[in-house]
Amino acid sequence: MRTQVKITITQSGDFFKVDLEDHYGNYTQVYEPTVKQAMQYALYWCEMTEQRHETKQLHAKAVMEMNKLDKEAGILTGNSDGLD
């Protein structure tokens, strides 16, 4: 599957700032010492788009299930989410 990714690489002092955003709205920013390393990181991050999305979806489902269990157990009250 092809993904749409926004990649911006700019020089920042002695480093290259890499801003990345995928079509799911995930964003990251890193600093790399060379343009080559900046491009390598961007390529790696883009390749991990679908895996990152699946991982975040799994995490969200786990949190929702924990909230459901906490509510059934009477732990959730008022504005408290029970995740303290």
Q: What angle do CA 57, 52, 68 make, to 5 degrees?
A: 20
Q: What is the pTM of this model?
A: 0.71
41 within domain boundaries: yes
What total number of domains does the chain contain? 1
The C-alpha torsion from 40 through 45 and 46 to 48, rounded to 10°, is 130
In a domain, 68, yes or no: yes
Which ranges in the chain belong to alpha helices (H)? 35-47, 49-72
Residue 80 lies in a domain: no
Instruction: List the domain range (segments joined by +) for residue 50.
Output: 5-72
> Cα-flanking dihedrals φ and ψ of residue 60, to 5°?
-60, -40
In a domain, 77, yes or no: no
The per-residue pLDDT for 78 is: 65
Give the pLDDT confidence of 17-69 residue by residue, as tens digits: 999 999 999 999 999 999 999 999 999 999 999 999 999 999 999 999 988 88
